[in-house]
C-alpha cells in the first residue's frame, strides 16, 4: 500500500510539473507571437509610410509637372521666362540697401541704414510688396509679370554715382520687356522704367493695368497706436487727399501718386505720366500680430498706340520727413500730418511757425527734450500779452469777490436776481467775466497744432530725454499686469506731471473766481485734469512734457503777476473810478439784461402760480 501511495504522489507531482511546464511554454510562445506581431505591425507601418511618402512625392512631382505645363502654356512666346530659380541683386547707397528679385523683376525689400524699429533692428520696408501687370504672351494667352523669371543684368555704376540694374525677358517673335531700376546716391527714391517692344501686341487696347499690393508691419513701440495713425494718401487731379477710416476709394481724376503710410514711414508709387483711373482697397488689421494694414491698388494707364513704349515710374520707400518729401513730388509733403480736415486750421501754424522755431532750436541744442522746452518758452512769450490781460481780469474778479459773496447771501436761491446784479456789478467796474477764458481758448489751437506736430515729427523718433526712451511715443515708468480701457497697461510719468500741474492751476483759478452753485461748473475744473489722465497716457511724451512745462510756467506767472506786478489797491481804485464814470451799454449787454429780466419775470410768475 505504501508503494501505491508513493506512486500516486509521484504521478501527482509529475502531472503538476507537466502542467507547469506546458503553462510556462504557452506563455513563452504567446510572448514570441506578440513580439512577431509587433514586428509585423511595425514593418507594415514603415511600408505604409514609405508608400505614403512615395505617393506624396509622386503627387508633388505630378503637381510640379502640371504647374510646369501650365507655366509654359501661360508664358506663350516667352517660354524661357516660364521657369527658373529666384535670384537676388543688392544695391546700396548711403541711406539704404535695396534688394531686387528676378521673379517679376521687382523690389524685394528695402533696409534703411539710419533707422531702427521698436526692437532695435534696422527698419525693413517693402518686404511684403508686390507690383505686377498682365501682358499678352501669345494669341489667347496672358501672364502676370510677377510669375515670370527675368534675366538680371549686372549693376552699372554711372558717372553721377547712381547705379542701374536691368531685368529683361525676350519672346521668340522678337517681343521684349525690360525693367530698369536706377538707385541714386543719397536718396530714398528709386526710378523704374518699364520698356516694352511690341507693346501694341503685349497690351490689350494699349491699356496698362498695374496692381500694387502692400502689407505694412509694426516699426514703432506699439502696433495698436501705429495702426491708428496709418492711412492711405494720394494725389488725385494734382490735389492731395487721403483715406483713414474708409476701406476703399475709387479715383475719378488722374492719379499722380499713391502712398501707403505708417506713422513715420511710407511706401509711395509715383507715375511719371499719371494713371488715368483706378481704385484702392485698404484694411487695418485688428489682431494682436505685428501687421498693421494691407492695401491693394488697381491702377490703369492708357498708352499711345506704338510698337515701342517707355513708361516711367518712381518708388519712394523711406521716412516721412517733411522737407525730404517736399522735394520728391508735388503735394507729397502733406503725407506728414500737420493738420487735416477739421484741424486743418493748425497746419499753417505748424508749417510757418512751430516747425521753423523747432528746427532753429534743434540747430544748436542736441537734446530734443530741451528743444521742446525752448519751444514752449517761445510759445508762452509770444502769447504773453494775451495771458497778462487774462490775469489782470482774474485779479479784478478776485478783488470783487467779497462784493459778489455779499450779493450771493442777499439773493439766496434767486439765481436770476443774482445773475442780473452780478452783470450790473461787472459792467460798473469794467470787468469782463470771460477775460480769464483767454488762456484756455488759446491753448486749443496750440494743443492741436503740437499734437499733430509731435505725432508726425520723425526727428523725435528714438530721442531720449530724462526717463523717456522715445519722445515720439509715451514714456513709461511702470507696466501694469492688466489693460485698463482708454488708459492702457502702462503709467506715463510725464502724463502724471501734466495732470498734477493742471490740477494745481484749477485750484488756483477756482480761488480767483466767484463761487459757483452749478455742480457741473463747480467741479469741472477738477474733472478736467482727471480726464487728461486718460487722454494723455498714450500720447507722445514730447507733448506731455510740453504740457507740463507750459503748466509750470502758468503757475509761476500767475504767482508773480498776482503778487508782484498787479497792484490790487490800484485795481480797486480803478474799479471805483469806473463806477463813477457815465456808463454806456453795448447792444450785447442790453440784450443780455433784457433776457435776464424776461427770465426773472417768468420765474416770478411761476412762483406766484405755485403759491396759489
Asked if the model's pLDDT at residue 585 lies above 80, the reply is no
Cβ contacts of 258 within 8 Å, gap of 6 or more: 212, 232, 233, 234, 268, 269, 280, 297, 299
At 343-372, the pLDDT tens digits run 888 899 999 999 999 999 999 988 999 999
Asked if the model's pLDDT at residue 104 lies above 80, the reply is yes
Confidence of residue 527 (pLDDT cuts 50, 70, 90): confident
Whole-number pLDDT of residue 455: 87
At 374-422, the pLDDT tens digits run 999 998 888 877 776 666 666 666 666 676 777 777 766 666 666 666 7
Asked if the model's pLDDT at residue 543 lies above 80, the reply is yes
**Which is more confident, 4 or 563?**
563
Whole-number pLDDT of residue 80: 83
Beta-ladder partners of 48:
none
Contact 384, 442 (CB under 8 A): no
Cell representation of residue 472? 515720439
Contact 76, 137 (CB under 8 A): yes
The C-alpha atoms of residue 300 and residue 274 are separated, in whole angstroms, by 9
Whole-number pLDDT of residue 521: 57
The C-alpha atoms of residue 393 and residue 323 are separated, in whole angstroms, by 43
Asked if the model's pLDDT at residue 11 lies above 90, the reply is no
Asked if the model's pLDDT at residue 267 lies above 90, the reply is yes
Q: Which residue do the cell numbers 520728391 mark?
A: 328
Asked if the model's pLDDT at residue 570 lies above 70, the reply is no
Average pLDDT over the chain reads 80
Name the range with the highest mean pLDDT among 222-226, 232-236, 500-504: 232-236
CB atoms within 10 A of CB 509: 17
The C-alpha atoms of residue 173 and residue 78 are separated, in whole angstroms, by 9
Whole-number pLDDT of residue 4: 46
Nearest CA among 84, 87, 83 for reference residue 102 = 87
Q: Which residue do the cell numbers 479784478 mark?
A: 396
Contact 148, 82 (CB under 8 A): yes
At 456-514, the pLDDT tens digits run 899 999 888 988 888 988 888 887 877 777 777 778 899 889 888 888 887 777 665 55
In angstroms, what CA-CA distances link 201 with 132, 204, 303?
18, 7, 13
Contact 429, 400 (CB under 8 A): yes
Cell representation of residue 476? 513709461
Whole-number pLDDT of residue 276: 92
CB atoms within 10 A of CB 537: 23
Contact 78, 134 (CB under 8 A): no
Asked if the model's pLDDT at residue 90 lies above 90, the reply is yes
The C-alpha atoms of residue 204 and residue 137 are separated, in whole angstroms, by 11
Beta-ladder partners of 277:
300
The C-alpha atoms of residue 423 and residue 483 are separated, in whole angstroms, by 49
Confidence of residue 53 (pLDDT cuts 50, 70, 90): low
Confidence of residue 1 (pLDDT cuts 50, 70, 90): very low
**Which is more confident, 539 or 194?**
194
SS3 content of the chain, % helix, strand, coil (to 5): 50, 25, 25
Asked if the model's pLDDT at residue 142 lies above 90, the reply is no
Q: What is the mean pLDDT of residues 217-226?
A: 86
Nearest CA among 492, 494, 526 for reference residue 508 = 526
Domains of the chain (ranges, CATH numbers)? 79-336 (2.70.98.90), 347-581 (no CATH)
The C-alpha atoms of residue 239 and residue 357 are separated, in whole angstroms, by 28
Whole-number pLDDT of residue 332: 94
**DSSP of 152-178, one letter per residue?**
E-PPEEPTTS-EEEEEEEE-TTS-EEE
Whole-number pLDDT of residue 95: 94
**Which is more confident, 493 or 305?**
493
Confidence of residue 185 (pLDDT cuts 50, 70, 90): very high
Confidence of residue 247 (pLDDT cuts 50, 70, 90): confident
The C-alpha atoms of residue 192 and residue 437 are separated, in whole angstroms, by 56
Percent with pLDDT over 90 in the chain? 32
**Which is more confident, 46 or 266?**
266
Cell representation of residue 543? 507733448
Q: What is the dihedral of CA 360, 363, 365, 371, to 10 degrees?
A: 40
DSSP 351: I
**Which is more confident, 429 or 318?**
318
Parallel, antiparallel, or unpaired for β 141-144 and 130-138?
A: antiparallel
Cβ contacts of 583 within 8 Å, gap of 6 or more: 427, 428
Asked if the model's pLDDT at residue 18 lies above 50, the reply is no
Whole-number pLDDT of residue 26: 54
Out of 3-7, 55-59, 263-267, 436-440, least confident range: 3-7
Name the range with the highest mean pLDDT among 87-101, 427-441, 489-503: 87-101
Confidence of residue 538 (pLDDT cuts 50, 70, 90): confident
Cβ contacts of 243 within 8 Å, gap of 6 or more: 231, 232, 249, 280, 282
Whole-number pLDDT of residue 484: 79
φ and ψ at residue 577, rounded to 5 degrees:
-65, -40
Cβ contacts of 98 within 8 Å, gap of 6 or more: 90, 91, 92, 107, 109, 110, 181, 183, 190
**DSSP of 138-149, one letter per residue?**
ETTEEEEGGGSB
Contact 604, 611 (CB under 8 A): no
Distance of CA 541 to the CA centre of its chain: 16
Whole-number pLDDT of residue 54: 46
Nearest CA among 59, 322, 306 for reference residue 198 = 306
Contact 259, 332 (CB under 8 A): yes
Distance of CA 592 to the CA centre of its chain: 47
Nearest CA among 37, 122, 196, 145 for reference residue 462 = 122
Asked if the model's pLDDT at residue 210 lies above 60, the reply is yes
DSSP 516: P
CB atoms within 10 A of CB 538: 18
Asked if the model's pLDDT at residue 178 lies above 90, the reply is yes
Percent with pLDDT over 70 in the chain? 69
Contact 190, 107 (CB under 8 A): yes
Contact 465, 543 (CB under 8 A): no
The C-alpha atoms of residue 554 and residue 11 are separated, in whole angstroms, by 119
Q: What is the mean pLDDT of residues 429-436?
A: 60
Confidence of residue 23 (pLDDT cuts 50, 70, 90): low
151 by DSSP, 3-state: which? strand
Whole-number pLDDT of residue 123: 92
The C-alpha atoms of residue 590 and residue 586 are separated, in whole angstroms, by 6
Q: Is the dihedral of CA 114, 115, 121, 123 positive or negative?
A: negative
Amino acid at each position: 500500500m505504501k508503494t501505491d501511495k508513493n506512486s500516486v504522489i509521484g504521478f501527482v507531482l509529475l502531472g503538476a510539473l507537466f502542467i507547469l511546464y506546458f503553462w510556462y511554454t504557452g506563455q513563452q510562445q504567446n510572448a514570441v507571437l506578440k513580439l512577431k506581431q509587433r514586428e509585423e505591425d511595425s514593418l507594415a507601418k514603415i511600408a505604409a509610410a514609405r508608400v505614403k511618402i512615395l505617393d506624396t512625392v509622386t503627387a508633388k512631382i505630378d503637381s510640379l509637372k502640371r504647374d510646369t505645363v501650365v507655366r509654359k502654356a501661360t508664358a506663350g512666346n516667352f517660354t524661357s521666362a516660364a521657369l527658373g530659380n529666384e535670384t537676388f541683386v543688392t544695391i546700396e547707397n548711403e541711406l539704404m540697401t535695396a534688394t531686387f528679385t528676378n521673379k517679376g523683376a521687382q523690389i524685394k525689400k528695402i533696409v534703411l541704414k539710419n533707422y531702427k524699429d521698436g526692437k532695435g533692428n534696422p527698419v525693413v520696408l517693402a518686404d511684403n510688396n508686390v507690383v505686377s501687370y498682365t501682358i499678352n504672351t501669345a494669341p489667347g494667352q496672358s501672364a502676370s509679370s510677377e510669375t515670370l523669371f527675368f534675366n538680371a543684368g549686372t549693376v552699372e555704376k554711372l558717372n553721377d554715382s547712381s547705379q542701374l540694374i536691368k531685368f529683361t525677358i525676350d519672346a521668340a517673335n522678337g517681343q521684349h520687356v525690360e525693367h530698369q531700376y536706377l538707385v541714386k546716391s543719397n536718396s530714398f527714391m528709386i526710378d523704374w522704367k518699364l520698356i516694352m517692344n511690341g507693346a501694341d501686341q503685349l497690351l490689350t487696347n494699349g491699356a496698362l493695368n498695374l496692381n500694387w499690393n502692400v502689407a505694412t508691419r509694426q516699426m514703432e513701440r506699439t502696433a495698436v497706436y501705429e495702426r491708428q495713425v496709418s492711412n492711405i494718401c494720394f494725389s488725385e487731379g494734382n490735389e492731395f487727399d487721403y483715406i483713414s477710416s474708409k476701406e476703399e476709394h475709387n479715383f475719378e481724376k488722374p492719379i499722380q501718386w499713391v502712398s501707403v503710410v505708417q506713422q513715420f514711414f511710407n511706401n509711395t508709387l509715383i507715375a511719371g505720366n499719371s494713371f488715368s483711373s483706378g481704385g484702392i482697397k485698404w484694411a487695418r488689421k485688428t489682431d494682436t500680430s505685428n501687421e498693421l494694414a494691407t492695401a491693394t491698388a488697381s491702377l490703369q494707364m492708357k498708352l499711345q498706340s506704338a510698337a515701342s513704349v517707355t513708361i516711367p515710374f518712381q518708388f519712394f520707400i523711406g521716412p516721412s520727413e517733411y522737407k525730404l518729401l517736399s522735394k520728391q513730388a508735388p503735394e507729397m509733403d502733406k503725407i506728414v500730418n500737420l493738420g487735416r480736415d477739421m484741424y486743418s486750421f493748425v497746419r499753417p501754424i505748424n508749417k510757418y511757425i512751430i516747425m521753423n522755431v523747432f528746427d532753429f532750436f534743434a540747430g544748436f541744442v542736441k537734446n530734443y527734450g530741451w528743444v521742446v522746452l525752448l519751444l514752449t518758452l517761445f510759445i508762452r512769450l509770444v502769447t504773453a500779452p494775451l495771458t497778462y490781460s487774462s490775469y489782470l481780469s482774474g485779479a479784478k474778479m478776485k478783488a470783487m469777490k467779497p462784493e459778489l459773496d455779499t450779493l450771493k447771501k442777499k439773493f439766496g436761491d434767486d439765481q436770476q436776481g443774482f445773475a442780473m446784479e452780478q452783470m450790473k456789478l461787472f459792467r460798473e467796474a469794467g470787468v469782463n467775466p470771460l477775460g480769464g477764458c483767454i488762456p484756455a481758448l488759446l491753448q486749443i489751437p496750440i494743443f492741436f497744432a503740437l499734437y499733430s506736430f509731435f505725432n508726425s515729427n520723425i526727428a523725435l523718433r528714438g530721442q531720449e530725454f530724462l526717463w523717456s526712451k522715445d519722445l515720439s511715443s509715451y514714456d513709461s515708468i511702470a507696466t501694469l499686469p492688466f489693460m485698463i480701457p482708454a488708459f492702457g497697461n502702462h503709467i506715463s510719468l510725464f502724463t502724471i506731471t501734466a495732470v498734477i500741474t493742471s490740477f494745481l492751476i484749477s485750484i488756483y483759478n477756482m480761488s480767483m473766481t466767484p463761487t459757483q452753485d452749478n455742480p457741473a461748473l463747480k467741479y469741472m475744473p477738477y474733472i478736467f485734469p482727471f480726464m487728461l489722465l486718460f487722454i494723455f497716457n498714450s500720447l507722445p511724451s514730447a507733448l506731455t512734457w510740453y504740457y507740463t512745462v507750459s503748466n509750470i510756467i502758468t503757475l509761476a506767472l500767475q504767482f508773480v503777476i498776482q503778487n508782484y506786478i498787479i497792484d490790487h489797491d490800484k485795481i480797486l481804485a480803478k474799479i471805483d473810478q469806473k463806477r463813477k464814470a457815465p456808463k454806456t451799454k453795448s447792444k450785447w449787454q442790453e440784450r443780455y439784461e433784457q433776457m435776464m429780466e424776461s427770465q426773472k419775470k417768468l420765474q416770478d410768475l411761476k412762483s406766484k402760480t405755485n403759491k396759489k
